[in-house]
């Protein structure tokens, strides 16, 4: 008779051994994996904390991924902006070189150089990083700038910059070729007047003289006019000055010197036998000078004025001359999408940096958008395009003066004095540098946070191999003792006992 069933509580003993066996098996798995549990249900009360902390860790890692992604984009932006600045310096250097250069070399190379540089600038503005155009602000799916051929020559029935320049030159020169100014004489009085109230041609700013015999009135009226009156004969060497404002807001002072020479030459007028004769000679000299300045200084100003109207900046519309006819036009009108190429199709924000942002912390974002119509890009594109559409020739008597006038305007617009202007290459680079520094700080914070979280999770989810090994050895001894005890009990019967 098996007394174990009557005298000992065998079932509880088996249950205890079963639980120890389960614990032993768990310790073996922990020893093999280093993990406290293989499923969330096995973690017990710590599972909620683990789930929450892993969610926080994943979120922190997503911030780090954003920082890495923005870092790559900032690298490309930095390289591109550096190249923009280099091109700007190269254009300045060429514009500041000795006029047309030795043997007028600049006349033959200026247009090709401007066109190739403009093409490079456009390609840079259309930089594509993994399918994302980085100079289009929020519009990242399509190239923000049209190709150089479309910009200069037009496309699909829409006019390009070359046509807009041609129309503007006509409007500024006027039918008489005197920059929309009219000259008339009444006795010893020469009247110089604008031909209407409009934005085209020369504008009268004033006049002066060092001759006591000549009086010059202040421009007045609508349209403005001024009188040059010969009250007595000027002396040889005395000068009369007429100051004009050009369409690009620059000024030009015409200087005419009195001379007794019957063939006075450029910049001079002959003192006549009478006051009326002197006035007539002055009028002829002024008319000739105005015609010359219309083909040179005014022509260059027309190109840059057209560039400012065509290559529009933030908040601006493309403008062109209201015509035909163009030589008597009196207004600018907004271009439409069907008649004029739009040079820039990206986004335009009052603060371009905010056009693109990335979250780099729990409550932190960085703004790093760049838009291709910001001031630095705009002035460079305008300057290059203005020369690219011009034609220079050593046989054209106006080429050298036009080239010099265009170069002067390039130097003014691309001057280092503009480096502090919002949207300049230097300001953009500085602002993006601030973003890079901020990301470095947030990256360090995220890294430290992740390290702390991983430490806590490690303590929560992982086990000490040494401790598990000791526990496993202890459990093994206990199991062996329990098995031996149960084996003895299993053999314990009354018969065996009596023996």
Per the DSSP assignment, residues forming a β-bridge with 242 are 207, 254
Considering the domain delimited by 40-145+350-462, tell me its CATH architecture: Up-down Bundle (1.20)
Q: In this structure, are residues 245 and 202 in contact, taking their beta carbons and an 8 Å threshold?
A: yes
pLDDT at 479: 65
Banded pLDDT at 24 (limits 50, 70, 90): low
Range with the lowest mean pLDDT among 102-106, 268-272, 357-361? 102-106
Output the pLDDT for position 175. 95
Residue 298 has pLDDT above 90, yes or no: yes
pLDDT band at 2 (very low <50, low <70, confident <90, very high): very low
Q: Are 117 and 384 in contact (CB under 8 A)?
A: yes
User: What pLDDT, in 10s, does the model give residues 192-238?
Assistant: 999 999 999 999 999 999 999 999 999 999 999 999 999 999 999 99
241 beta partners: 208, 255
pLDDT in tens, 275-288: 999 999 999 999 99
Q: In percent, how much of the chain has pLDDT > 90?
A: 62
- Identify the pLDDT of residue 44: 55
Contacts of 203 (CB under 8 A, 6+ apart): 194, 224, 244, 245, 246
pLDDT at 322 over 80: yes
Q: How confident is the model at residue 443 (pLDDT cuts 50, 70, 90)?
A: confident
Mean pLDDT of the chain: 85
Candidate ranges 43-57, 288-302, 431-445, 471-485; pick with highest mean pLDDT: 288-302
Across 348-355, average pLDDT: 93
DSSP 147-207: -HHHHHH-BTTBB-HHHHHHHHHHHHH-TTSSSSEEEEEETTEEEEEESSSSS-S-EEEEE
pLDDT at res. 58: 72
Question: How far apart are alpha carbons 320 and 183 in whole angstroms?
Answer: 28
The answer to whether residues 73 and 66 touch, using CB atoms and an 8 Å cutoff, is: no
pLDDT confidence tier of residue 494, bands split at 50, 70 and 90: low
Predicted confidence (pLDDT) at residue 468 exceeds the cutoff of 80:
no
Instruction: Pick the closest to residue 387 from 401, 373, 407 (CA basis).
Output: 407
Quote the pLDDT of residue 96: 78
> Which range (50-64, 72-86, 360-374, 484-498) has the least confidence?
484-498
pLDDT of residue 395: 83
Predicted local distance difference test score (pLDDT) of residue 54: 65
Map tokens 């599972």 to a residue: 47
Residue pLDDT, tens place only, 113-146: 999 999 999 999 999 998 899 999 999 999 999 9
Instruction: Look at 16-25, 77-86, 373-382 and tell me which has the smallest mean pLDDT.
Output: 16-25
Q: Which residue has the higher pLDDT, 382 or 451?
A: 382
Q: Which helix (H) or strand (E) holds 312?
A: none
Rounded-to-integer distance, Cα 69 and Cα 439, Å: 11
pTM for this entry: 0.80
Strand partners of residue 123: none
The percent of residues in the chain predicted with pLDDT above 70, rounded, is 76
Assign 363 a pLDDT band (cuts: 50, 70, 90): confident
Tokens of 224: 């403005």
Distance between CA atoms of 134 and 125, rounded to whole angstroms? 8
- With b meaning 16 or more CB within 10 Å and e meaning fewer, what string describes 104-121? bebbbebbebbbebbbeb
Greatest mean pLDDT range, 82-86, 95-99, 419-423, 455-459: 82-86
Pick the more confident residue, 189 or 491: 189
Parse the chain into domains and list their residue ranges: 4-34+474-498, 40-145+350-462, 155-343
C-alpha span between 274 and 183 (Å, rounded)? 20
- Where residue 486 falls among pLDDT bands split at 50, 70, 90? low
Pick 361 or 326 by higher pLDDT: 326
d(CA 194, CA 2): 132
Query: pLDDT band at 475, cuts 50/70/90?
Result: low
Average pLDDT over residues 68-95: 92
Q: What is the pLDDT of residue 359?
A: 85
């Amino acid at each position: 008779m098996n007394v174990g069933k009557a005298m000992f509580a065998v079932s509880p003993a088996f249950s205890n051994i079963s639980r120890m066996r389960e614990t032993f098996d768990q310790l073996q798995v922990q020893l093999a994996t280093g993990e406290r549990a293989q499923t969330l249900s096995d973690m017990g009360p710590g599972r909620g904390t683990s789930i929450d902390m892993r969610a926080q860790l994943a979120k922190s890692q997503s911030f780090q991924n954003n920082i890495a992604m923005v870092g790559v984009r900032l690298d490309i932006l930095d390289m591109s902006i550096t190249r923009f600045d280099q091109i700007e310096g190269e254009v300045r250097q060429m514009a500041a070189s000795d006029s047309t250069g030795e043997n007028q070399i600049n006349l033959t190379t200026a247009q090709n150089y401007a066109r190739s540089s403009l093409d490079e600038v456009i390609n840079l503005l259309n930089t594509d990083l993994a399918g994302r155009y980085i100079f289009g602000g929020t519009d990242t799916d399509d190239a923000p700038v049209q190709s150089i051929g479309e910009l200069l020559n037009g496309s699909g029935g829409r006019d390009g910059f070359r046509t807009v320049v041609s129309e503007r030159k006509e409007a500024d020169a006027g039918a008489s070729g005197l920059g929309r100014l009219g000259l008339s004489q009444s006795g010893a009085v020469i009247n110089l007047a604008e031909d209407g109230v409009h934005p085209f041609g020369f504008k009268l700013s004033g006049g002066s003289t060092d001759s006591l015999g000549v009086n010059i009135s202040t421009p007045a009226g609508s349209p403005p006019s001024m009188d040059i009156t010969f009250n007595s004969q000027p002396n040889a060497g005395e000068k009369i000055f007429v100051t004009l404002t050009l369409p690009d807001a620059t000024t030009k002072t015409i200087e005419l010197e009195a001379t007794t020479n019957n063939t006075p030459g450029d910049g001079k007028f002959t003192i006549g036998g009478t006051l009326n004769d002197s006035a007539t000679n002055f009028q002829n000299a002024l008319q000739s000078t105005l015609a010359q300045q219309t083909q040179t200084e005014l022509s260059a100003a027309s190109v840059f004025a057209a560039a400012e109207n065509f290559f529009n900046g933030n908040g601006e519309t493309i403008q062109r001359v209201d015509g035909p006819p163009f030589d008597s036009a009196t207004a600018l009108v907004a271009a439409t999408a069907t008649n004029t190429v739009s040079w820039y199709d990206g986004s335009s924000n009052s603060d371009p940096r905010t056009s693109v942002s990335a979250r780099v912390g729990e409550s932190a974002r960085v703004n790093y958008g760049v838009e291709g119509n910001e001031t630095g890009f705009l002035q460079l594109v305008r300057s290059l395009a203005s020369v690219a559409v011009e034609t220079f020739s050593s046989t054209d008597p106006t080429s050298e003066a036009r080239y010099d006038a265009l170069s002067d305007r390039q130097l003014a617009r691309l001057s280092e004095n503009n480096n502090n202007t919002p949207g300049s290459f230097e300001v953009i680079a500085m602002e993006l540098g601030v973003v890079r520094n901020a990301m470095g700080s947030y990256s360090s914070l995220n890294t430290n946070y992740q390290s702390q979280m991983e430490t806590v999770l490690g303590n929560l989810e992982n086990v000490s191999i040494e401790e598990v090994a000791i526990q496993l050895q202890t459990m093994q001894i206990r199991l062996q003792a329990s098995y031996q005890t149960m084996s003895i009990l299993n053999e314990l019967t009354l018969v065996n006992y009596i023996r």
